[in-house]
Structure 1
């Protein structure tokens, strides 16, 4: 006697197989588009053949199972090819990501090689400068979360700026390491199109790039972290940069991006931090940090958000040594009293 559920097993299996074919067909199409080598016409033909194989497998679900098995074998071969793609340091890189950050630690002194300090006049007109700088962790006293909005309220680039008692600042940013001919695509970021790089930058460089050169909208929030947590977060960025310098890795729009690294660092300090949709919708990451006691305490988030918008102050300040102080004027939790100037060299 047949089990009552036996009649639905076959239709359910066909449905699951059909969903698998559709999902892998779409994935394979993008994988071939972004990673297959050769002329454009050859890539288009390859994609057409792949999609044709998927369509044939869908039509054959009821009648020709061998066709479906054949599709699975071809997909396995595609996965084998995909697994052979390797990240590299050996490409013709865009100027702003041309150098890899290296950090050397001796006690409290951290020496950073290849700190970016470009002079930006526009997004395409700039003077490259890469510098070696030393930072004394015993003087590390603050960290600020910076969100730069470039595509609507839900998408922002996430940076962390560390401040020292002598007035010096250094900003860390996980970015795509794009080649000279490339521009960013969130879809391409799912398909091993870019390598990952940690950029350490002078604050004038990396904020002016976004407010003045690219026309992005930038917000700054003081993070509420004790001294030991500041040290752990700073050294974690340096350690990640050194790992990437030794072993290149692919950027991934979902799992390895500018926001997930901040979350990973935060979990070093608080392993109980929960996953949240705002880790993907990075434009809302400041609100996530606020909900988990990570921003200046005792102030409504609406106030932090409104007073943390530094775009106009950055545009007005321009490329001046007073830039870090002037963009923070009025930001809650920050004392903007002048600090005696010190050379960054």
Structure 2
């Protein structure tokens, strides 16, 4: 009996120490969760390194040093996360470090007071008196080349009741998937006001898609005469050359007026409170889409809005462009380079580039 007791006493603790293995699905879920968190840490590390490298106009030496230090800390955190004993302590410490970087980055404030490139140096704004809207600092440069020009601006009063058309302008320079999109508002009597949402670059600064994610550029609304903003692209941009298409939009006229006022509101707001441009969330097409949300029945968000070159095709598919022609034929007619080059500095430039386009007008109801 004592032998059986000793055997029983010996077996008891051994059985207690040998826990049954977790069910297969639980093990798979645990592994998947660990892998997901690990990938999340890698993404956070990449974002943090780039955010510090492009941090708030600091010197290159300081930014490079901060980015390298964060990269080293990220590597240590990832190694710690890979070790089960240290996993969650490493994760917690790394989250705290990342939060410091994120909060510091979010604290960077945009400014209207920098040494701007001449083409974006002057901010437009508008005065509103009922239906009469006076737009100040409409850009109309006298170009000799893309970079050699005489700056010029004028003020003009528009009657909102006479807004009778909106055109979408699509500019291509690197294949069908990428385009710069902007709108031109048409008024009775042949007046046109083009508004292009762009980056406000400092003197000597070039555009970078990657830098556009990291608060490098302020948001800027180019409010311009079409002889400036369209002719610049058709007649003077050569490296690379650009193909410009003008499409007449269909929809209720009241929606167009609401959209125009929404643009004016944002233009005035940027004069008093600058904002950041963002390559993904606040660019030439997503900002237009955000403005259209003021109207009922606005275009649904689509991947073709993010792949901006397909915006005209998308609008055709949902009935916002002339559907009496196949899209390929409509696109052919919308190409304005040859007509713009022939019109050049003509006073009726806007009329000449629209020769052959459908005479679509906004309707009282859609």
Identify which range, 227-236 or 168-177, moves more after superposition.
Answer: 227-236
Q: Distance in 1 between matches of 2:202 and 2:211?
A: 13
Q: Which residue does 1:176 correspond to in 2? A: 199
Which SS does the other structure have where 1:151 is aligned?
coil
Q: By how many angstroms is 1:176 displaced?
A: 0.8
Q: Distance in 1 between matches of 2:104 and 2:197?
A: 28
Q: By how many angstroms is 1:186 displaced?
A: 1.3
Matches of residues 56-95 of structure 1 in structure 2 within 5 Å? Answer: 56-61=76-81, 62=83, 63-65=85-87, 66-95=89-118
Per-residue CA distance 1:107-162 (angstroms, 9 max, x = gap):
22110111111111111111101221111122221111101113321111111111
Bigger Rg, structure 1 or 2? 2
Gaps of 5+ in 2: 1-19, 362-366
Q: Which residue does 1:343 correspond to in 2? A: none
Report runs of 4+ in structure 1 exceeding 4 Å deviation: none
Instruction: Kindly report the root-mean-square deviation, in angstroms, between the aligned alpha carbons of the 2 structures.
Output: 1.9
Q: Which residue does 2:327 correspond to in 1? A: 301
TM-score where L is the length of structure 1: 0.91
The question of 1:46 aligning with 2:72 is answered: no
Which SS does the other structure have where 2:358 is aligned?
coil
Contact 1:142 1:225 in 2 (8 A): no
Going from structure 1 to structure 2, the CA distance change for 1:273 and 1:36 (only over 3 Å counts) comes to closer
Going from structure 1 to structure 2, the CA distance change for 1:3 and 1:82 (only over 3 Å counts) comes to same
Which SS does the other structure have where 1:35 is aligned?
coil
The question of 1:143 aligning with 2:169 is answered: no
Q: Distance in 2 between matches of 1:27 and 1:225?
A: 41
Q: Which residue does 2:256 correspond to in 1? A: 230
Equivalent of 1:283, from 309, 314, 327? 309
Q: Which residue does 1:342 correspond to in 2? A: none
Going from structure 1 to structure 2, the CA distance change for 1:100 and 1:27 (only over 3 Å counts) comes to same
Q: Distance in 2 between matches of 1:259 and 1:211?
A: 20
Q: Which residue does 1:246 correspond to in 2? A: 272
Q: Which residue does 1:186 correspond to in 2? A: 209
TM-score where L is the length of structure 2: 0.86
Which SS does the other structure have where 1:268 is aligned?
coil
Equivalent of 1:24, from 22, 31, 44? 44
The question of 1:197 aligning with 2:223 is answered: no
Q: Distance in 2 between matches of 1:156 and 1:171?
A: 16
Going from structure 1 to structure 2, the CA distance change for 1:27 and 1:211 (only over 3 Å counts) comes to same
Q: By how many angstroms is 1:106 displaced?
A: 1.3
Which SS does the other structure have where 2:68 is aligned?
helix
Going from structure 1 to structure 2, the CA distance change for 1:300 and 1:267 (only over 3 Å counts) comes to farther
Going from structure 1 to structure 2, the CA distance change for 1:334 and 1:293 (only over 3 Å counts) comes to closer
Q: Which residue does 1:219 correspond to in 2? A: 245
Going from structure 1 to structure 2, the CA distance change for 1:15 and 1:152 (only over 3 Å counts) comes to same
Contact 2:55 2:63 in 1 (8 A): no
Q: Distance in 1 between matches of 2:141 and 2:298?
A: 39
